[in-house]
Amino acid sequence: MGALVFEGLAADLAEAERVAASGQIDFSPCHEHDCVGSMAGANDESVVERLIWMRDVLGPMLKEAMEIGGPVDLRLLLAQALHMGDEAHNRNNAGTLLLFQALAPSLLRTSFTTEQKKEVFDFIASSDYFSGPTWLAMAKAAMDAAHGIEGSTVVTTMARNGVEFGLRVSGLPGNHWLTGPAQKVVGPMFAGYKPEDSGLDIGDSAISETCGFGGFAMAAAPAIVALVGGTVEEAVAYTRDMGQITTAENPNLTIPSLGFQGLPTGIDVRKVLDTGILPVINTAIAHKEAGIGMIGAGITHPPAEVFEKAIIALAEKLAPQFPRTEN
């Protein structure tokens, strides 16, 4: 509904609701359009105004800054952020500082007015989450490169829409989604809210865990427990558990407190089913009523049935390659 207003296809949210329900709008996931979008929910007038500003000022200024300064090595920045206490999903304090440090000289050299530059600098300074979408885009690019490998049981997408949880596996190319019910996110609530106010798990940000950071990197970010709940020991345990359901450790992204162990990377549906350990996702909690937005943060997991569906679909796909023979 917020997108319909932003795109000019509806004058307000009331009209947007009618348009959305009219049958004239085709719905499809961001992941099918080379995109990711983090948690949805807030869609009031201020959000639409902010999106217009991003379209007209922030986006073009970032584009021009990149043309001036050249590529930014995001893998290196992410490695540094992990060493500075981020897990790059819900804690982005260090990552935002590093990204801003990389962009600031070029932002200053753009052709935009001083006032517009100040708006962008103020926006970046207003939220530690500024770098968060950058890591999601990086993870999306990495996991798309791993998608469509014959016979692979590695998970390449985890996404949620507030109703269903969707999974894609490398060995099932294209948009072959395995779905199950979205789960509750359990964790601390912001003041004034209670657990029954929360909606179900929502957003594309679980691409971070799919790529091996976020919840998988909580051992690198002990301070995250203040936001999502639990203890430092539990945060470390999550990272160790994820090592049991992944194919390898990423030598480029390491955790100093674990002897520079690489992040557990490459969720294998077979290992999930063999161990009974589900991927951990640390994420925001959205209010169950659209428009209110984030009301807390916590821990959740995919529904087990999506992994069962995935292994059955993989087996059915491979079956014709291995015809049964009579004894």
Domain 147-320: state its class: alpha beta
Give domain 2-135's CATH number out of 3.40.50.720, 3.20.20.60, 3.40.50.300, 3.90.1710.10: 3.90.1710.10
Q: What is the mean pLDDT of residues 16-38?
A: 93
Greater confidence (37 vs 104) lies with 104
Measured distance CA(318)–CA(322) in Å, rounded:
7
Question: pTM (2 decimals)?
Answer: 0.93
Would you state the structure tokens that stand for residue 240, as one six-digit string?
């160790």
**Which SS3 state, helix, strand or coil, does residue 264 take?**
strand
Tokens of 91: 């804690």
Instruction: Give the mean model confidence (pLDDT) for residues 253-257.
Output: 96
Tens digit of each residue's pLDDT (9 = 90 or more) over 137-157: 999 999 999 999 999 999 999
Q: Do the Cβ atoms of 72 and 102 come closer than 8 Å?
A: yes
pLDDT at 319: 81
pLDDT of residue 2: 86
Q: What is the pLDDT of residue 292?
A: 86
Q: How high is the pLDDT of residue 326?
A: 62
Q: What is the pLDDT of residue 322?
A: 67
Query: Where exactly are the structural domains of the chain?
Result: 2-135, 147-320
Structure tokens at 55: 């379209």
